[in-house]
Chains A and B, each alone.
Chain A
Amino acid sequence: MAQVLQVVINGILLGGIYALLGVGMTMMFGIVKLTNLAHGEFVIIGSYASTLIAQAIGVDPILTLVVTVPLMFLIGMGLQSGLINRVMMIGSEPALLVTFGLSIILADALLLLFSADAQRANVPYNISSIKISAGLSISVLDLIVFCIALVTIIILSLFLKKTYLGRSIRATSDDTEAASLMGVNVKRTYAIAMGIAMATAAIAGLCVAMKWVYYPSSGGSYLLTSFGVVVIGGMGSIPGTLVAGLILGLAQVIGGANYGQLIAYVLMVVFLAVRPQGLFSK
């Protein structure tokens, strides 16, 4: 019994980080209608930024978010208004291929800059855990990562629901033309959405760096995970992201080290085929 409970707890904790990975992707999908194939590389850039800054100043990696989040937000806005808005005018297929191009450029640029060595953001609470009962414990690191993910997602959904800017973003997502007639600057909204997606990628990158070792080439697998979250949860749905993250997290933990990844991929393909609009689509 304790063993089953332990698997469920681990799965849920893992699901938090998956949901966080997917939330930026789902925003781009739902609002900008863009499949951002460079999302995985953005996450890894966030990981490197947090690791390097934390090492350089010698602070807890979590504190680096103060720098990385605004920085990534600005980079995202610049990227969207400078490049991607322009390509999206040509068509959705060219836009998809441009993000694909960006992803291979970034992956190899990271490789040139940081070599293929494994990296990790070290934290003092790396191996400590809270013991609940015999055979049942929660890793402190997992819990912290889960809380970061949850807080980020809650803040993001409150921002989209309650603020004026959030409403204009949702309006653009529902009906681009009507929103632009009501005075929403669509291109600026897209830039902000990309900025937010990049900011969540920075936070996800921090979580990845604390939890796992990562390489310049790790972006691809995180992209596929975040895509899976989007597909299972439904495009543009933030609560859906959370549920999908938990489903994938549980699948991964149940499959174990050997088959977890395979089960997760198969689950994604099955969901894509059976219910491509996702669990929580409008």
Chain B
Amino acid sequence: METKSLASAHKPIKVLDGLVMWIVCAVVVVALYALGVTGALPNNTMRYLFKIFLYITMGSMWNLMSGFTGMTSLGQQVFVGIAGYSVAVMTTTYKMSFWMGILVGAVIAIIFALILSFVLFRMSGMYFAVATWLVSEAVSTWFTSWKYVNQGGGMTVRTTQIPRIGSLYLMALTLCVLAVVVIFLLLRTKTGLGLTAMRDDADAASSVGVNLFKSKLLCYIICCLFIALAGGLFFLNKGSVLPSSAFGIDWTVSMVFIVIIGGIGTVSGPILGAIVYVLLDEFLSHYPGWSNIILGAIAILVIIFLPDGIMGTLQKKLHFEIFSQKRFSEHKKDKKIEDAANAA
């Protein structure tokens, strides 16, 4: 593993992206697939992992928006809900396969995101945050009085269409791996660099040629698409969908919690955060009514005492990053520049 350094950092940061790290990740992913395909895992374990994969997807996507692009949304649940209802409507009302439901959900999510972008991207910061929430509440209100989706009574997914947990597990795992890879690759591109630049200073980024609208739109569409896919899988497993559960603010609560605990603005943070969240959520289900209170209190304490989250703090303290999305200048090059400066 080579040592790379950031010009401003006092201590060189170790970037763990050598061959060993790639092999470790590949082994973990292949092992998870193998466990799913062979059916070696008990159903209950698979259910936990299924949830963890979906939350990693949603948390990572929320992190892409808030942590890397500076668009803090409190309304991503609208895409969870749209996808959930698409699965229910396509399988029950139109008697089609659940694949059709997930596809329709994804397409509607993209179209809706495109329409919203014209309105939402005129705002930033807290305006954006609350406007996204307003949109989600408006859609929720509409669904509650819309006869086509059985108003507030909710809908069910046609039972013959609900796949077994083994297949759901594999779908969620694929989605989760795709989500993390897409985010990592996106951040390594020029557009990704533009996104983080925009987060840090929108005016400066714009003045050096970052197309704010286009970059935001790309990030937003990816985010909405993946959250819709995750939402579709979630309700496919659950089997029923209600306006209050589909468009509930709880989705945002969990996404925020996952990202804050794991570390906002790190790729690995939401993965750890999602694991912590699902385990904690399971533990807290023994204390009905207390779960949001404890999650909220933990989140506030973490914001005050560990503003960088678990991964962010570890990375800062121990000077390492796993598969960093940042571009580090090579140590040697720095030396060359220094030598040149000395010679001059």
Contacts and interface: CB of A to CB of B under 8 A. Distances in A.
Query: Does A associate with B in a complex?
Result: yes
Interface of A: 35, 37, 83, 86-87, 90, 92-94, 96-98, 100-102, 104-105, 107-109, 111-112, 220-221, 224, 227-228, 231, 258-259, 261-262, 265-266, 268-270, 272-273, 276
A261 B159 CA distance: 34
The SS class assigned to the B binding surface is helix
A96 B142 contact: no
Contact of B292 (A94, A98, A104): A104
Interface in B119-135: 119-120, 122-123, 125-127, 129-131, 133-135
Given A94-B307, A231-B127, A259-B145, 11 more contacts: A37-B74, A90-B304, A101-B297, A105-B297, A107-B292, A220-B249, A262-B142, A272-B131, A272-B134, A273-B123, A276-B122
A261 B243 CA distance: 15
Contacts of A96: 72, 126, 129
Contacts of B293: 104-105, 108-109, 112
Contacts of B15: none
A92 B300 CA distance: 14
Contact of B119 (A98, A227, A259, A273): A273
B292 A100 contact: no
Contact of B126 (A35, A101, A269): A35
Contacts, number: 109
A97 B123 contact: no
A202 to B, nearest CB: 22
A258 B147 CA distance: 12
A265 B72 contact: no
Contacts of A102: 296, 300
Nearest to A111: B289
A266 B138 contact: yes
A90 B303 contact: yes
B72 A93 contact: yes
Interface in B198-256: 249, 253, 256
Contacts of B133: 224
Interface in B53-102: 66, 72, 74
22 contacts: A35-B126, A37-B74, A87-B304, A90-B304, A90-B307, A97-B256, A98-B300, A98-B304, A100-B74, A100-B256, A101-B299, A101-B300, A104-B295, A105-B293, A105-B296, A105-B297, A108-B291, A109-B293, A265-B135, A272-B122, A272-B127, A276-B127
Given A87-B303, A108-B293, A92 B126 contact: yes
Contact of A92 (B122, B125, B296): B125
Contacts of A262: 138, 141-142, 145
A98 B134 contact: no
Contacts of B256: 97, 100
A220 B137 CA distance: 9
Nearest to A107: B292
Nearest to A93: B72
Given A87-B304, A92-B125, A96-B129, A112 B141 contact: no
A109 to B, nearest CB: 6
A46 B289 CA distance: 21
Contacts of A272: 119, 122-123, 127, 131, 134
Contacts of B155: none
Nearest to B142: A262
A90 B127 CA distance: 20
Nearest to A29: B126
Contact of B138 (A101, A104, A265, A273): A265
B127 A86 contact: no
A92 to B, nearest CB: 7
A82 to B, nearest CB: 11
B46 interface: no
B290 interface: yes
A268 B123 contact: no
Nearest to B67: A93
Q: Ordered nearest first, which 5 A-B pairs have the shortest CB separation?
A: A265-B138, A105-B296, A35-B126, A101-B296, A108-B292
